[in-house]
């Protein structure tokens, strides 16, 4: 079990908007959650030819931070993320590791030319945070349609998922964390 989870907020989201997610993460992962303001170097990760930030570079910055190695860390940024083999990613995580990163950029309705819906964006963010943190616990992508661990290529797929693990992934989490 992680000692705690640190949310490293490098986004424009106000801490009050992340409080609900923090509480849900505490319940999901049975660990205290801390919200910390992050100063990630977005310029070091920026690829001007793609006009996106390389998520692996940001993940590396999170890994190199001065945190207890028993803590899970998840960064939140507002910039568009990519990895070289994909056009974009909603997030990235270190499988069976301690760090993950997610972006609000493509979770926002405005990106798709739709009216602003901050509550919807926060629900999407919560699902992506649970998903990426699930990877840090060793969970792989799930084939269950509504499981939060199902891979999402489009934001509509995030909307169809639940904000929690299916029974199979829940059992895997219990095995990993010593709860079952």
The catalytic site residues sit at: 132
2, 28, 122, 175 from 97: Cα distances, Å: 11, 18, 25, 16
14, 17, 21, 163 from 10: Cα distances, Å: 10, 13, 15, 22
Quickly list DSSP for 34-94: EEEE----HHHHEETTTTEEEHHHHHHHHHTSS--TTSEEEEEESS-EEETTEEEESEEE-
Rounded-to-integer distance, Cα 33 and Cα 109, Å: 27
**Neighbour count for residue 86 (Cβ, 10 Å):** 11
Per the structure block, which two tokens stand in for 38? 């992050």
Q: Give the burial string for 53-73 (b: 16+ CB within 10 Å, else e).
A: bbbbbbbebbeebebeeebbb
């Amino acid at each position: 079990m992680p000692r705690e989870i640190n949310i490293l907020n490098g986004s424009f989201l106000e801490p009050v908007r992340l409080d609900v997610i923090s509480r849900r993460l505490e319940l999901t992962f049975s660990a205290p959650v801390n919200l910390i303001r992050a100063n990630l170097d977005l310029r070091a990760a920026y690829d001007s030819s793609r006009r996106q930030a390389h998520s692996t570079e940001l993940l590396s910055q999170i890994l190199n931070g001065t945190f207890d190695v028993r803590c899970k860390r998840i960064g939140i940024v507002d910039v568009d993320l990519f990895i070289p083999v994909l056009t974009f990613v909603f997030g990235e995580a270190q499988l069976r590791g301690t760090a993950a990163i997610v972006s609000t950029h493509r979770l926002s309705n405005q990106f798709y030319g739709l009216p602003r819906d901050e509550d919807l964006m926060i629900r999407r963010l919560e699902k992506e945070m649970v998903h990426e943190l699930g990877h840090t616990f060793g969970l792989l992508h799930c084939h269950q349609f509504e499981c939060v661990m199902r891979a999402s290529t489009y934001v509509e797929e995030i909307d169809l998922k639940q904000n929690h693990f299916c029974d199979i992934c829940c059992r895997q989490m219990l095995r990993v964390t010593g709860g079952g």
